[in-house]
Amino acid sequence: MSRRPIALSPDLLRLQNEGYDLEVRGGYLLVRDVPFVAEDRIVKRGILISKLELSNDRTNRPQDHVAYWTGEHPCHSDGRRITAIHNPSGPQDLGNSIRADFTFSAKAAYRDYHHKMTTYIGRITGEATKINSEATAQTFPVITAGDDEDSVFKYIDTATSRAGIGAVNEKLVGQKVGILGLGGTGSYILDLVAKSHVTAIHIFDGDIFSQHNAFRAPGAASPEQIATRPQKVTHFAAIYEIMRHGITVHDTYVDEANIDALDNLDFVFICLDRGVEKQKIVQRLTANGIPFIDVGMGVELIDGQLTGIIRVTTSTPDTRDLAAPHVSYADDYSGENQYASNIQIAELNALNAALAVLRWKKLYGLYHDTRKQYYQGFSIASGEIVSEHLE
């Protein structure tokens, strides 16, 4: 089965986005799970079939008004056959394991295959809804990637197609991204990047996923999972490998022994609080011309309330000197730093990650960017975002 005609054809993509269960096979379009009334007045499900006219895997306007049906003959709600669409042709073998039990004929000037298939479905399922008001062919099935070898996802990104932004999201195709550190902010960055169309994600962290991590990370971990003391990279890879390919695990911190693993990356998110190691990483990325974003926060407990700043620093070959003063190399392990003391601040981690990923996507043209920011700071107390920018 090929999903390419569905992806390239607006009428088929509309059917898919509206929740119909589609398959393109051997030059035919199949819509499965179409409710109909059988002669015994029981609502059952069949398959509606149409020949497809394609040019370069895109649909043309249908020239054939005929449709085919696999299943018992659809009836009115009282059990009488729907004769208005009946065609006397007998069962047919259409090839590619497609068998039609009946042929239908409803002449009309169909604009496209969405118009044709929904017209037939309306006539057939309309009778079923008189018996069962919840009967619908819009079942929203899980759509696996199948033979779509170009996709990094194990099931189709229908959110992108429904919004009509496929071409925008494809700007990240082929990119290899590194995430250094899977603490609170790093794990949220992974959550967002994993849902993008980047080809490869390399995650680096030498720490264990512990109980306190569960309170500032996306999703939820069970007590049993925490008790096994998994490596952070192993824990998070298992979550996101359910939906996508291309995640490479590095169960260690980046140091002199493995820093060359960064050399083949296209972009890096630095989510570290170890100053000495970060300095070497920044030097390496700068020497190789690799753009990166450094994230962090300084949170303090004052008079029983949390306050501080969230920061996102973007360093590219065009902004190295301007961004450099904003990259922090402080070791955040002192008792004064509440982030290191495991206070639950998941919402700040999530915001820090969202600002960083938005900035990354701006760099590659997914979002409109009029300011070219190389530094953003969010003040918890005032709610203000301050920025420094090129334009």
pLDDT digits (tens, 9 = 90+) for 138-188: 999 988 876 555 789 988 777 776 677 878 888 999 999 999 999 999 999
The answer on pLDDT for 135 being more than 60 is: yes
- Give the pTM: 0.78
CA distance 155 to 142: 7
CA distance 264 to 290: 9
**Residue 2 pLDDT level (bands cut at 50, 70, 90):** low
pLDDT tens, 285-342? 999 999 999 999 888 889 999 999 999 999 999 999 999 999 988 765 444 444 445 4
**Token pair for residue 123?**
């006539």
Q: Which residues pair with 20 in a beta bridge?
A: 138
Q: Are 211 and 270 in contact (CB under 8 A)?
A: no
pLDDT tens, 191-205? 999 999 999 999 999
Q: Please, is 44 exposed, middle or buried when counting C-beta atoms within 10 Å of its C-beta (0-12, 13-18, 19+)?
A: middle
Report the pLDDT value the prediction gives residue 129, as an integer from 0 to 100.
97
> Which range among 29-38, 41-50, 66-75, 266-275 shows the weakest confidence by mean pLDDT?
266-275
CA distance 362 to 372: 8
Report the pLDDT value the prediction gives residue 147, as an integer from 0 to 100.
53
Averaged pLDDT score across all residues of the chain: 91
Furthest C-alpha separation in the chain: 84
Q: Are 116 and 50 in contact (CB under 8 A)?
A: yes
Domains defined along the chain, listed by start: 4-131 (no CATH), 158-389 (3.40.50.720)
Helix 232-240 crosses helix 184-194 at what angle (to 10 degrees)? 30
pLDDT tens, 69-125? 999 999 999 999 999 998 888 899 999 899 999 999 999 999 999 999 999 999 999
